[in-house]
Amino acid sequence: MSNPYSFESPLETGHIGSRLNTLNACTPEIAYHQFKRCCGSSKWADQMVRTRPFSRIMELEQAADRIWMASSREDWLEAFAAHPRIGQHSHNRWSQEEQSGVVIASSEIWSALAEANQIYEVKFGHIFILCATGKTALEILAILQQRLRNDPPTEIQIAAEQQRLITRLRLIKLLSE
């Protein structure tokens, strides 16, 4: 008999709940590929596959966060490298959606982003990572310029947190397809 006082999240019913069940039931190879779409770290994707099944979306998100935060710097860098640079054209639909605010930028903003990206990569040794969803090109440029003031240990932590946020969004996108 079900508990009349337990409530499912609206996200866990219908299509998204069905997609979570499919993700739980698919082969490890398919699950790995699906998780790699959300985060480019091989170790993270492998650990997510081994952590299945997930009974709820919250459990999936908590596992994703826990595994990500326990990952090494090298795992983080692998995930960062899977992203296009901010302002760089990508064939990945999710990247295009996330960076949609940059598409309509003026040529001056595009040039400033390209220059700041280059300076960032030289200083920190990896691409600039930002959860860009909902941000304009000007906002992204301002954040990039501000983050250039960070020292490398601070910046890697900020970039890792931004990747965690991107991964969370992409997990929901994966379950929404």
CATH of the domain at 112: 1.10.3330.10
**pLDDT-derived band at 110, boundaries 50, 70, 90:** confident
What pLDDT shows up at residue 95? 56
> What global pTM score does this model have?
0.83
CA Rg value for the chain: 18
Cα–Cα distances (Å) from 114 to 27, 70, 171, in that order, read: 40, 32, 29
- Domain of residue 133, residue span: 11-176
4 assigned to some structural domain = no
**pLDDT-derived band at 105, boundaries 50, 70, 90:** low
Contacts 24+ apart (CB under 8 A), 151-158: 152/123, 152/124, 152/125, 155/124, 156/73, 156/76, 156/124, 156/126
Q: What mean pLDDT is reported for the chain? A: 86
For the chain, strand residue ranges (E) read none
**pLDDT tens per residue across span 30-47:** 999 999 999 999 999 999
52 assigned to some structural domain = yes
1 assigned to some structural domain = no
Residue 48 has pLDDT above 80, yes or no: yes
List active site positions.
83
15 assigned to some structural domain = yes
**pLDDT tens per residue across span 111-158:** 898 899 999 999 999 999 999 888 888 999 999 999 999 999 999 999
**pLDDT-derived band at 89, boundaries 50, 70, 90:** low
5 assigned to some structural domain = no
What pLDDT shows up at residue 93? 61
Total domains, the chain? 1
Pairwise CA distance, residues 177 & 164, whole Å: 20
What pLDDT shows up at residue 92? 63
99 assigned to some structural domain = yes
What pLDDT shows up at residue 137? 87
Residue 163 has pLDDT above 50, yes or no: yes
The lowest-confidence range among 17-21, 48-52, 106-110, 143-147 is 106-110
3 assigned to some structural domain = no
What pLDDT shows up at residue 167? 97
87 assigned to some structural domain = yes
What's the gap between Cα 161 and its chain centre?
9
